[in-house]
Chains A and B, each alone.
Chain A
Amino acid sequence: SYDLTQPPSVSVSPGQTASITCSGDKLGDKNVCWYQQEPGQSPVLVIFQDNKRPSGIPERFSASNSGNTATLTISGTQATDEADYYCQAWDSRIVVFGGGTKLTVL
């Protein structure tokens, strides 16, 4: 089975840049999405097809995917960005989620 690895937690100060990584074998060859999930809420798509933002998602959210690592970057992090973030790969038409990263804005 295909596995994706995320750090359990990342901390960032308000206004700084947060980076959340997602690692998997040849991940750069696959489509990667990122979801934001606030407590008690459904996941929300923030990045699709490696680096595209859905309408309504702030420009401070960006992402890249190359080699074995995809990275979600949040520039000028705000307190409202504190949430769990999940990467997801599309591997041979199978959906695979990473374990999730809790982003804390200190």
Chain B
Amino acid sequence: QVQLQESGPGLVKPSETLSLTCTVSGYSITTYYWSWVRQPPGKGLEWIGYIYYTGSTTYNPSLKSRTTISVDTSENQFSLKLRSVTAADTAVYYCARLSQTGTQDSWGRGTLVTVSS
């Protein structure tokens, strides 16, 4: 059974870079796509982007200029970097497994990242 776990700092200063890692267990990262989704407090879900194990990425156009997603197949992990953050980037960040038909069938528990000085 696949499990995903997000990790990274819970507090990031404005203008700095948010960095998170998702560790996948129980399933090889070399199949499926792997996705990041965020949810600001009290608001809806926003898709950030996804990656294939080959390194091929697709990003939400609204976040593309600030986002980099990478993969480490040796560690069965994938990572998110979001640059030049502001308070509007404060959210719970989720990682998820994404199928070729667009189904996100397994999700991590999420991690709250607060942007504040």
Which A residues are within 8 Å of any B CB, using their own CB? 1, 31, 33, 35, 37, 42-45, 48-49, 54, 86, 88-90, 93-100
Main secondary structure of the interface of A (DSSP, over half): strand
Number of interchain pairs (Cβ within 8 Å): 65
Expressed in whole angstroms, the Cα–Cα distance for A48 and B37 within the complex equals: 17
List the A side residues contacting B99 at CB < 8 Å.
Answer: 48
How many chain-B residues does the 8 Å CB contact rule pick out? 23
A/B interface sample: 18 pairs, CB < 8 A: A1-B62, A35-B45, A42-B94, A45-B105, A48-B103, A49-B101, A86-B45, A90-B101, A93-B58, A94-B47, A94-B58, A95-B37, A95-B98, A95-B102, A96-B47, A97-B37, A97-B45, A97-B47
List the A side residues contacting B58 at CB < 8 Å.
Answer: 93-94
Expressed in whole angstroms, the Cα–Cα distance for A97 and B47 within the complex equals: 7
Residue interface mask B50-82, A partner, CB < 8 A = 1: 100000001011100000000000000000000
Known: A93-B58, A94-B58, A95-B35. A43 touches B103 (CB 8 A): no
